[in-house]
Structure 1
Amino acid sequence: MSGSMYQQEIAANGFTVIENVFTDREVDSLIALIQQADSSKATFRKTKDLFAIRQFLRELPDAVPAIITPTLMAKLNELFGEGYQVVKSIYFDKPGDSNWFVSYHQDLTISVKDKADVPGFGPWTVKQQQYAVQPPLRILENNFTVRIHLDDTDEHNGALRVIPGSHRKGIYRPETIDWSKETEVSCNVSKGGIMIMRPLLLHASSRTTNNHKRRVIHIEFSNQELPASLQWSELLHN
């Protein structure tokens, strides 16, 4: 599919899937780097149902060149133009016997270094020593997320379920979804493929039913300048 067709999908539906962005060898190298990480830190969360690493690229700097590759950046520059930078990163490892699920939601917050009283920014939360705040809608509308899949993922092992076009409806409360008008799509992605999505896209993830792992690296990009008193907490200059 051409770049313009991916752009059209993102504009209309709020997401697209691009296969074969990373080779099997590149994915296996990434997995090996992650397995060597010190999981005792506060940014690591390990339970029976989920292993997660917040501030992932800060915690594993050796992974940066393996993830922010020329191939990936060329594709993103083609789709969105230059000037976007990494502002948040998380690793999710959902084991094959996981009962972990996430109900429908939008990604309404950004991560910043310090709390400040700025008009249009709020409410605030703190998660694992990191401030999160809901910014003005224009920031969320311009940001995008890349989900790099380290395993074949479908509806049986936690592929995202999304509501196409929901990103164009502003703040969309899940309890107000009208299923007589909305449709649900499972975003199946093969190992080495990526899913690109807008933060305002309503999305959910089901429990695993096929005993297959689902490992994903979630990276958020922005080209937005924050007010002087706020700073992106994970800004990575590409």
Structure 2
Amino acid sequence: MSGRALSFGTIAEAYERHRPGYPAELFDMVAAYAGRPLLSALEIGAGTGKATRLFARRGVTVTATEPDGAMLAELRKHVPPSVRTVQAAFEDLRPGETYGLVYAAAALHWTNPEGRWPRTAALLEPGGVFASFGGPVRLADPAVEEAVRTARAPYLDTDEIPSPDGTPPERDMQWPGTELQRAEWFTDVQQHVIERRLTLSAHDYVGHLSTVSAYLVLPAPHRQQVFARILHTLPDAVELSADITVHLARRRNGL
């Protein structure tokens, strides 16, 4: 697991405060795709439990896995007592118990691609559902985005994570749907987008950036300098595009 993947525990409380949660529409989409009651779920890289809450509060018995102890401790403050928590990376989970749903919320790109899909399939009941969802939070105003790009340029070319398999952004099917379509263990691969717009104060937007891995791995003095430069360029409130891209797939029977 990369250094960027393990950088979040130091800012668990900030992550909880500044990362947006997930709307009820997301649960409804996954449940409709499943076509049967979602009774049990395994979550990959649960973080502070933003998605955990969505599924647990709709009656799903969730096992939330997360490799970082600080993130998991923060999660435990916010989720219902029915949630089971396991400190483990996805690669360290051993097949045994299976689930009706396995899902990852803005976390799948941190997992090791080697063996990712057979490992996921082994955790699913036959016909069970895999879901991955997330997406970048982008400034909606191109002029503000350009000002921020200029402010961060001495420190970072970009703060986004490139497509793990190199799929260009203009392609209809994005990662991980591209991999799922090729994976023999899965069928009925779908991609959907939930449009979402947010408004944050300038300080809260910088707070959000403080939870983004590209900034977390900068030396602390550089991180403070780039945040000050960005804050100086921002209006009092910023409009954000925070669309959620959802990928869904079903485990093939007999595999």
TM-score (norm 1): 0.29
Report which structure shows greater RCO (CA 8 Å, sep ≥6).
1
- Structure with max Cα Rg: 2
TM-score (norm 2): 0.27
User: In proportion to residue count, which structure has more helix?
Assistant: 2
